């Protein structure tokens, strides 16, 4: 039980740091804008569970900033991986057999961002490893 409190405190700290530091370590965005109207406040920022989601997802990660970031994703089988997240992206996570995503949070690693000839930016297919 004590371990869960520590994990939640660390997750909250990492999320807060991500919100504060993301503009400093991420590439500026030339395209993309925050959602407007009803959808702007429809979903929380960060990782959250989506119980009984009509799309069948078990959780999502919503990035609420105009920057590119990296997140770490943890699965119920103990596996984890990193993922580049684009500005204002809403990433769904589905069940993988009997395994589900149990957490996803910002990590302070710079993602590899590709710039197209028209100036728009997107996450590269491969990302740097630690």
Tokens found for residue 123 = 């996450």
pLDDT at 107 over 90: yes
- Residue 23: the pLDDT is 41
CB 83 within 8 A of CB 91: yes
pLDDT higher than threshold 70 for residue 117: yes
Q: What is the pLDDT of residues 5-14, one digit of tens each?
A: 554 444 444 4
Q: What pLDDT is stored for residue 39 in this prediction?
A: 52
Pairwise pLDDT comparison (123 vs 54), residue with the higher score: 123
Beta strands 57-62 and 46-49 are antiparallel
Secondary structure of residue 113 in the 3-state scheme:
strand
From CA 45, how far away is CA 16, in angstroms rounded? 11
Q: State the chain's mean pLDDT as an integer.
A: 77
Q: How far, in Å, CA of 95 to CA of 53, rounded?
A: 12
Q: What pLDDT was estimated at residue 3? A: 46
HSE on the CB side for 4, CA within 13 Å? 2
Of the pLDDT bands very low, low, confident and very high (cuts 50, 70, 90), residue 56 is: confident
Rounded to whole angstroms, how far apart are CA atoms 65 and 94?
Answer: 24
Beta bridge pairs of residue 110: none
CA 18 to CA 16: how far, in whole Å? 5
Global pTM reads: 0.67
- Interval 58-100: pLDDT, tens: 999 999 999 999 999 999 999 999 999 999 999 999 998 899 9
């Amino acid at each position: 039980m004590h371990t869960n409190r520590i994990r939640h405190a660390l997750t909250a700290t990492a999320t807060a740091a991500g919100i504060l530091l993301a503009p400093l370590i991420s590439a500026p965005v030339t395209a993309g804008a925050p959602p407007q109207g009803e959808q702007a406040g429809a979903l929380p920022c960060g990782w959250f569970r989506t119980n009984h989601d009509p799309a069948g997802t078990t959780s999502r990660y919503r990035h609420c900033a105009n920057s590119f970031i990296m997140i770490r994703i943890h699965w119920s089988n103990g596996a984890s991986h990193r993922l580049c997240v684009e500005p204002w992206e809403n990433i769904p996570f589905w069940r993988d057999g009997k395994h589900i995503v149990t957490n996803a949070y910002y990590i302070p690693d710079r993602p590899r961002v590709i710039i197209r000839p028209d100036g728009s930016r997107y996450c590269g297919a491969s990302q740097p490893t630690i």
